[in-house]
Amino acid sequence: MNDNNDFKSWYLENASLFEELHNKNSVLFYHVKDIIDSLAYIDHMIENDNASSELYDIFDTGYAYLYAYINELKIYLNNYFDNDMNELLKYEVFLRYCFYLNDIKDLLIDENIYNGDIKEEIDYILNDIEEVLKKNKLKDEMLLDEYDSRIEIVIPKDKHIQTIPEIFSTVVDNLEV
């Protein structure tokens, strides 16, 4: 089982980052908002000894995802944007797409179908985004539509892929948070 005290401490350590992203109405915040809301709700249930084992599992999954997401975001902020949040936010749609595509990549790896054309397209797009971020060379956001088209062509039509943030959208609805 998890340690919700660890989550609380970690969340407090990162509260200013969450607050800044929220106050700036960042898509990077809204990408994980349902996870944050679900974790806060489940944390309250854990404190009141009112959480099922399923809720503990949901909590662990959400916390692990959020932890990795924030750590990676901090790396981008530090390495590419000299800890300048305003500069990072100029690229937030590309960053969000990068996170989203990495989530899809992980799911495809788990399904043993991350190979061939799928691997080639995803790697191409991730490398392209990485260059945009590394060089701070802003591109037209319409490029994301091109990325979507490229991905849509190679992902098998019979695959229903749901990322962790998408799953937590359902979780937050089911918990009635």
Alpha helices in 14-138 (DSSP H): 15-23, 27-30, 33-47, 53-81, 85-89, 92-110, 116-134
> How much is the pLDDT for 3?
66
First-last CA distance in the chain: 22
| pLDDT one-digit tens code per residue, 12-70 | 999 999 999 999 999 999 999 999 999 999 999 998 888 889 999 999 999 999 999 99
pTM: 0.91
> How much is the pLDDT for 1?
42
Q: Is the pLDDT of residue 88 over 90?
A: yes
